[in-house]
Amino acid sequence: MFVVALSSNAFSAIAQHEADNWYFGYYSGISFQNNSVIKAEGGQTRTVEGCASISDRYTGDLLFYTDGISVWNGKHQIVKNGKGLKGGGSSTQGALIIPNPANRIEYYIFTVAEEASKSLDLSYSVISFENDSGEIISKNNVILTSASEKLTGTIDCDGSGFWVVAHHTSKSIIYSYHIDKLGVNITPVISPYISDKSYFVRGYMKISPNREKLILTSTIYGGYLALFNFDAKSGKISNQMNIIDGEDTISVLGPYGVTFSPDNSKCYVTNYSNTIYQYEVNLPDATSIRNSKYILNGNYKYNAALQIGPNGKIYVAQGNESGSLGVISYPNLKGNACNYLANVVSLSGECHSGLPNFMDYIFNSTGPVYGPQIPCAPPIATAISDSDCVGSRLVFKDISKYAKRRFWSFPSGTPSTSTDSIVSVTYSKAGTYKVRLVAENDNGSDTTYTEAIIFPLPTANAGEDKNICQNEKIQLGDKPEVVNTYSWLPITDLDNPSIANPNASPKSTTQYILTVTSEHGCIAYDTVLVTVGNIVAKVSNDTTICSGSSVQLLASGGAKYTWTPSTGLSDSTIENPIATPTKKPPTKYSSPAAHAKIPHSSPSRSIHNPPPTPDKTKPSASAQAQK
Domain containing 206 — which CATH number? 2.120.10.30
Residue 598 has, within 13 A of its CA and on its CB side, a CA count of 18
Q: What is the pLDDT of residue 609?
A: 33
Q: Do residues 108 and 194 both lie within one domain?
A: yes
Question: For residue 512, what are the β-bridge partners?
Answer: 528
> Which of 429, 454, 479 marks a domain boundary?
454
Q: What is the pLDDT of residue 627?
A: 32
Chain centroid to Cα 399, Å, comes to 11
In a domain, 14, yes or no: no
Q: Do residues 541 and 527 both lie within one domain?
A: no
Query: Distance between CA 212 and CA 206 in Å, rounded?
Result: 11
In a domain, 380, yes or no: no
Return the number of other C-beta atoms located less than 10 Å from residue 389's C-beta: 19
Q: Do residues 448 and 550 both lie within one domain?
A: no
Q: Do residues 477 and 600 both lie within one domain?
A: no
Query: Distance between CA 448 and CA 439 in Å, rounded?
Result: 8
Residue 526 has, within 13 A of its CA and on its CB side, a CA count of 18
Chain centroid to Cα 287, Å, comes to 28
Query: Distance between CA 289 and CA 178 in Å, rounded?
Result: 30
In a domain, 72, yes or no: yes
Q: Do residues 106 and 207 both lie within one domain?
A: yes
Query: Distance between CA 471 and CA 507 in Å, rounded?
Result: 7
- Where on the phi/psi map is residue 117: left (φ > 0), alpha (ψ -120 to 50), or beta? beta
Question: For residue 466, what are the β-bridge partners?
Answer: 530
Q: What is the pLDDT of residue 371?
A: 43
Q: From residue 158, how far is each of 337, 470, 545, 577 by CA, in Å?
A: 35, 82, 106, 91
Q: Are 553 and 565 in contact (CB under 8 A)?
A: no
In a domain, 16, yes or no: no
Q: What is the pLDDT of residue 516?
A: 96
Q: From residue 423, how far is each of 39, 385, 394, 397, 398 by CA, in Å?
A: 47, 12, 8, 7, 9
> Which of 532, 548, 570 marks a domain boundary?
532
Q: Do residues 162 and 134 both lie within one domain?
A: yes
- What is the count of structural domains for the chain? 4
In a domain, 149, yes or no: yes
Tell me the residue length of the chain. 627
Q: Do residues 256 and 394 both lie within one domain?
A: no
Query: Distance between CA 397 and CA 371 in Å, rounded?
Result: 22
Per residue in 2-31, is it b (16+ CB within 10 Å) or e — as a string?
Answer: beeeeeeebbeebeebbbbbbbbbbbbbbb
Q: Do residues 75 and 109 both lie within one domain?
A: yes
Q: Do residues 144 and 50 both lie within one domain?
A: yes
Q: Are 54 and 107 in contact (CB under 8 A)?
A: yes
Start-end of H helices in 510-549: none
In a domain, 170, yes or no: yes
Among 141, 162, 144, 142, which residue's Cα sits nearest to residue 153?
162
Quick one: CA dihedral 411, 417, 419, 425, positive or negative? negative
Question: For residue 536, what are the β-bridge partners?
Answer: 597
Among 327, 325, 227, which residue's Cα sits nearest to residue 279?
227
Q: From residue 516, how far is each of 51, 360, 427, 458, 554 by CA, in Å?
A: 70, 57, 21, 7, 41
Q: Do residues 174 and 67 both lie within one domain?
A: yes
Domain with 422 in it: 386-454
Residue 352 has, within 13 A of its CA and on its CB side, a CA count of 22
What value, to the nearest 5°, has the Cα angle with vertex 433 and ends 431 and 435? 160
Q: Do residues 171 and 251 both lie within one domain?
A: yes
Terminal Cα distance for the chain, rounded? 99
Q: What is the pLDDT of residue 253?
A: 55
Q: Do residues 279 and 208 both lie within one domain?
A: yes
In a domain, 381, yes or no: no
pLDDT lower than 50: segments of the chain: 1-15, 247-252, 369-372, 593-627
Query: Distance between CA 120 and CA 113 in Å, rounded?
Result: 5
Q: What is the pLDDT of residue 245?
A: 58
Q: Is the N-terminal amide bond of 415 cis, ω within 30° of 0?
A: yes
DSSP 74: T
Query: Distance between CA 308 and CA 360 in Å, rounded?
Result: 7
Find the CATH number of the domain harbouring 506. 2.60.40
Please tell me the chain's helix, strand, coil percentages from 3-state DSSP, rounded to the nearest 5.
Answer: 0, 40, 55
What value, to the nearest 5°, has the Cα angle with vertex 472 and ends 468 and 475? 80
In a domain, 459, yes or no: no
177: enclosing H helix or E strand: strand 173-180
Query: Distance between CA 332 and CA 215 in Å, rounded?
Result: 17
Find the CATH number of the domain harbouring 438. 2.60.40.10
> Which of 481, 505, 532 marks a domain boundary?
532
Kind of pairing, strands 543-544 and 605-608?
parallel
